[in-house]
Amino acid sequence: MGPICIHCDSQAAIGRAGSVMYNGKSRHIRRRHNTVRQLLSSGIITIDYVKSSDNVSDPLTKGLVREAVERSSKGMGLRLRTSQHGGNSI
C-alpha cells in the first residue's frame, strides 16, 4: 500500500510538519508534531499543498457562500437532493 496523502492549504503548516524546530509558542503541540514528523520520515504519509479554493474540506471548517459549498460538495462526491418544498438543497 502506498503512503496516505494529506492535502493542506497552509504552507506554514506543511513547512512546520517536517521541521524539528520548536519555539515557546509551539511547545504545546510537540507530541502531535513528533508523530506527524515520524510518519513523514517513515513514508507512511505525505503532505501536499492544495490551494484554498480547491480544498474540498472547507465547508467542514468555515462558513462559505452557497456556490463554494456546492463546488466542495461535488468535489467530495455528494449530490444535491430535492427538498420536500420543491427546491434544491444540499
Whether the pTM exceeds 0.75: the reply is no
**Helix or strand or coil: residue 63?**
coil
Classify residue 3 by its DSSP letter: P
With cell 420536500, the residue in question is 84
State percent of the chain over pLDDT 90: 26
CB 53 within 8 A of CB 13: no
pLDDT of 34 over the 70 cut = yes
pLDDT of 2 over the 80 cut = yes
The answer for 71, left when phi > 0, alpha when psi is -120 to 50, beta otherwise, is alpha
What was the pLDDT predicted at 60? 75
With cell 496523502, the residue in question is 5
